[in-house]
Structure 1
Amino acid sequence: MTDPAVERFRELLRIPTVSHADESLVRWEDFDAFRAALVRLYPAVHAALDLEIIDGHSLLYRWRGADPAHPLVLMAHIDVVPVVADEWSTDPFAADIVGEGTDAAIHARGAIDDKGSLVAILEAVEQLAASGFTPARDVYLAFGHNEETAGGGARAIVAALRDAGVRPGLVLDEGGAVVDGVIPGVTVPTAMVGVAERGVMTAVLTAREGGGHASTPPATPATARLARAITRLHRHPFPTRLAPPVRAMLSTVAPHAPQPLRALLRSLAVTGPLVAAVFSKLGPEMNAIVRTTAVATELAGAPGENVLATTARASVNIRLLTGDTVDGAAARVRRVIGDPEVEVEVRHGSDPSPVSPWRGEAWRRIANAVAETLGDDVVTTPYLQLGASDSRWFTAISGNVYRFTPFHLTRAERDALHSHNERIRIDVWLRGIGFYRALVAAS
């Protein structure tokens, strides 16, 4: 017989809370159905915690503890990204169980990102609330409704907490997971806890010309100037370096690395530039933790195949390494392109998040919960989160903001995020409930 917690999880995965950048396309009735299902499935949570609906569809729960100061905030988001159903081997919203024993996995959009965390949090709180437990300090559950697009729900939650004078002692959102072999040469499982995340910006490159018929093109049409600009950006990437969170990560895992790598990681004051240069060659993830990255993602030109483009445009997605800034990156893009006839406009951008400490009470609470529930052989290490999350808004009200998803994920499982066949193994998800329960119990 399937665990009742698993059946609750599957029911919530079947509700297609898909977000879209164009919110007129969102089926808000699915978000309402999701909230109604939470009330029905988690009675102890809704009896013990106060619920406030923020920004129309985001949920903020408050569990009053013996002391309201320095509360714990557990974050997750309700929305999921759209699917291309034909690419999936199962119905993406059927939450089918595939495999047997320890290989049994739930296949569904949101299984990891991010209903896996959201439902695991609720399961942990339901168990504790039903047992009569009262936390030592307040606990908040903050569930945004549009993390995958605008993040307005999380910003509104932060504004509500700030207005109430709440200064969280620990904020935990989705982020790094328990992984094997991500850091070359390190074979012990590592819990990658994000202490910061990269900034994000979009630079729009625009080249213009008079237009006309494609049968009589000029020597350097707008499309060629744009292509040349993109090629220059690709051939001259941002320089490599070890940001403080990455340096701390490598120092933490150094004792578990074989020689001569161990010696290199223990001498980063000297070997740092070499290590950064080598890591940039070891695949997209390693490259992204040692430099600001820039890639052209959207291209637009003429409206017809026989028409010269009067305007050729490219959107360049830039992810900023800790220490870099939106203004500095924009200036470098202009310098590398070196063509005054190609305009560079920053459409939107946010600098990298502040860095949370990897020492102190908040950090120890996370590390202790990892050791207690996910394995005492797991090494908890600081990590620079490569993508953006709703947690970045919480740095305005807390200096202890972390990003960690308490699931032991394979490379293939991580690659399925935002792709087809997203899935999570059932035993891995159930262990994650224990992590959240331990973290709340220690709060």
Structure 2
Amino acid sequence: MTLREGRPPHACTHAGTHDRAVEKLQALVRIPTVSDRDPALVDTAAFDQFLEELARQFPVLHERLQLTRVDTHGLLFHWRGASNARPVVLMAHLDVVPVEGTWRHPAFSGAIVDGVIWGRGTLDDKGSLVAICEAVESLLERDVVPAQDVWLSFGCNEEVSGSAAVLAVEELRRRDVRPWFVLDEGGAVASEAFPGVTAPIGVIGLTEKGVTSLELRVEGRGGHASTPSRMGPTARLARAIVRLDRSPMAPRTPPPTIELFRRMAPHGPLPLRPVFANAARLKPLLTRALLAAGPEPAAMTRTTFAVTTLSGSPALNVIAATAKAGVNIRIMVGDTVSDVLDHVRSVVADDEVHLDVVEQNEPSPVSPMDDAFELLEATIGEVFPEAVPSPYVMMAATDSRFFTEICERVYRFAPFRMTKAQREAIHSFDEHLGVDAFLDGVRWYELLIERLPR
């Protein structure tokens, strides 16, 4: 393994520490903890192996922190601090999505090539999990006692909206734990976040979109493919999909997005700097700019609909008796599940297309930008001085949405530098994390814990 030269002065310099932390991530990435909505399809042996390897790699953490098992393989660690007045929860998850596509390096190899760790889970979310554990292990070895109680909540079925996070919240509620703040995956030190913006943006999610999944279903007689009738189930379903694709919900620009662009203004394209700086006053213009800037910026402005699954006839010469399309919806702050259902019914405009709700979640409450946010901001500023810390609305879903029931300050930030290509690799192929970026993430968590106020 060769680390790149020119590491920033705040980073660790002990080669043994480098090797130890990176090798731990490699070992855990190699274990294929793929989750599935069908428990029968989950390789429980892989999850068992992961927990055994985690205990082997972090012996001090397992020895000195109180552990409660949650759900099948979820973990809830309690690290007693000098005070329990303002406890903190640090979150991650150990499950990953299935491997798809052609990878440059095997998806579960944990290979290091040119200073980059390759593998499923490096970004989502074993990188954060190992960085948290390594930071805690290092602090424990130095006999550091945090100013406040620290809880580590590691879910085992986040990728399938499983029950581990819900059960962790129930356990904390049972113990009367009301966190000062909760920090989960989500944002990052994102370069190429917006066309023409020169500085990386340290985006901290104050909220996240609601996740709702629908199934559009059309029933029919079916029959022999030699005698098709007009507007059979598949044709009617296709028309519904096209109508939905052509009729998005109205865009909106919530306060976290306004503040994001205000902070980005000095680093944006010259023609757009006045628009960014006056985002609150020029919301319509900003919204149009985001819609035109590509899928990632556009998703910041509206509820999105993605048709993700399709099913029809079981054979080429059989007309489908039932045709289905799965639609994954990310609901923007300000919209509701009810708004979405009304929109879909209105746009599809066909009583023969049935709407079956598979899951529904409202957008999360918006967390405040108070002293807890400022602590995250300051820690980003120290470890990533080149970055512009900023709030934003997270487009994806995390386990942390369930923690809003017991905490008003729920934030989403993974302390890793990520390029646009890296962000696109999440849930896709060629997921990877730079060695230096990972080590700086470890340092970020260490500083955060060390700076918890008394």
Question: Structure 1: how far apart are the matches of 2:29 and 2:242?
Answer: 42
Q: Provide TM-score, normalisation by structure 1.
A: 0.95
User: SS in structure 2 opposite 1:439?
Assistant: helix
Partner of residue 111 from structure 2, selected from 96, 99, 105? 96
2:43 maps to what in 1?
A: 27
- 1:369 maps to 379
Report the CA distance between 1:282 and its aligned residue: 1.4
1:423 correspondence with 2:421: no
2:193 and 2:200 in contact (8 A); partners too: no
2:355 counterpart of 1:351? no
Q: Identify the residue that residue 39 of structure 1 maps to in structure 2.
A: 55
CA distance in 2, matches of 1:428, 1:133: 24
Aligned to 1:176: 187
2:404 is equivalent to residue 392 of structure 1: no
- Paired with 1:194 and 1:400, the residues of 2 have a C-alpha distance of 11
Choose from 71, 84, 88 the match for 1:68: 84
Residues 1:165 and 2:165 aligned together = no
What are the equivalent positions in structure 2 for 1:222-241 lying under 5 Å apart? 222-241=233-252
What residue is the counterpart of 1:378 in the other structure? 387
Q: Which residue of 2 aligns with 1:13?
A: 29
1:263-282 counterparts in 2 under 5 A? 263-282=274-293
Range with bigger deviation, 262-271 or 133-142: 262-271
Pick one of 243, 250, 272 that aligns with 1:261. 272
Aligned residues: 436
| 1:3 counterpart = 2:24 | no
Q: Structure 1, residues 243-266: CA drift from partner, whole Å, max 9, x if none?
A: 222122112222333433121123
Kindly indicate whether residue 67 of structure 2 is the aligned counterpart of residue 48 of structure 1. no
Structure 1 distance, partners of 2:436, 2:298, is: 32
Distance in 2 between residues matched to 1:149 and 1:366, nearest whole Å: 28
In the alignment, the residues of structure 2 paired with residue 205 and residue 47 of structure 1 have an alpha-carbon distance, to the nearest angstrom, of 51
Q: Is the 8 A contact 1:74 1:173 kept in 2?
A: yes
Q: How do 1:271-310 and structure 2 match up within 5 A?
A: 271-310=282-321
Pairing 1:210-221 to 2, within 5 Å after superposition: 210-221=221-232
In the alignment, the residues of structure 1 paired with residue 239 and residue 384 of structure 2 have an alpha-carbon distance, to the nearest angstrom, of: 50
Q: Does the aligned pair in 1 maintain the 2:110–2:119 contact within 8 Å? A: yes
Q: TM-score, normalised by structure 2?
A: 0.93
Match of 1:58 in 2: 74
Counterpart contact for 1:322–1:352, Cα < 8 Å: yes
Among 201, 205, 208, which residue is 1:194 paired with? 205
Q: Does 1:336 align with 2:347?
A: yes
Alignment gaps of 5+ in structure 2: 1-14
SS of the residue aligned with 2:224?
A: coil
Identity of aligned residues (%): 46
CA apart distance, 1:210 = 2.5
Deviates more, 1:288-297 or 1:212-221: 212-221
* Pair 1:81–1:225, CA change in 2 (3 A): same
Where does structure 1 differ by over 6 angstroms across 4 or more consecutive aligned residues? none
Alpha-carbon contact 1:185-1:261 (below 8 Å) kept: no
CA distance in 2, matches of 1:129, 1:309: 61
- Give the stretch that moved more between structures: 344-353 or 38-47: 38-47
CA distance in 1, matches of 2:200, 2:337: 35
For residues 90-169 of structure 1, what are the structure 2 equivalents within 5 Å?
A: 90-99=105-114, 104-169=115-180
RMSD, aligned α-carbons: 1.6
Moved more, 413-422 or 204-213: 204-213
**TM-aligned CA distance change 1:110 to 1:341, over 3 Å:** same
Paired residues of 2:82 and 2:147 also in contact (CA < 8 A):
yes
Residue type at the aligned position of 2:371: E
In 2 relative to 1, CA 47–304 (structure 1 residues): closer, same or farther, beyond 3 Å?
A: closer
Q: Deviations over 1:159-190 (max 9, x none)?
A: 10011111111111011110123123321121
**CA drift at 1:379:** 0.9
Q: Which amino acid aligns with 1:332?
A: H
Deviation at 1:326, TM superposition (A): 0.8
Q: What corresponds to 1:245 in structure 2?
A: 256
Contact 1:330/1:346 (<8 A) preserved: no
Distance 1:269 1:134, change over 3 A: closer
Corresponding residue for residue 87 of structure 1: 102
Q: Distance in 2 between matches of 1:27 and 1:316?
A: 27
Q: Which of 407, 412, 433 does residue 442 from structure 2 map onto?
A: 433
User: SS in structure 2 opposite 1:3?
Assistant: helix
Q: Distance in 2 between matches of 1:244 and 1:238?
A: 19
- Secondary structure of 1:106's partner? strand
Matched residues in 2 for 1:373 and 1:329: separation? 41
Q: What is the CA–CA distance in structure 2 between the aligned matches of 1:156 and 1:48, rounded to whole Å?
A: 23
Change (3 A) 1:78 1:19: same
8 Å CA contact 1:81–1:418 kept in 2: the answer is yes
**Cα separation, 1, equivalents of 2:64 and 2:154:** 17
2:3 corresponds to: none
Give, as a single letter, the amino acid of the residue that structure 2 aligns with 1:380.
P
For residues 115 and 105 of structure 1, what CA distance do their matches in structure 2 show? 15
Which amino acid is the alignment partner of residue 60 of structure 2?
Answer: A
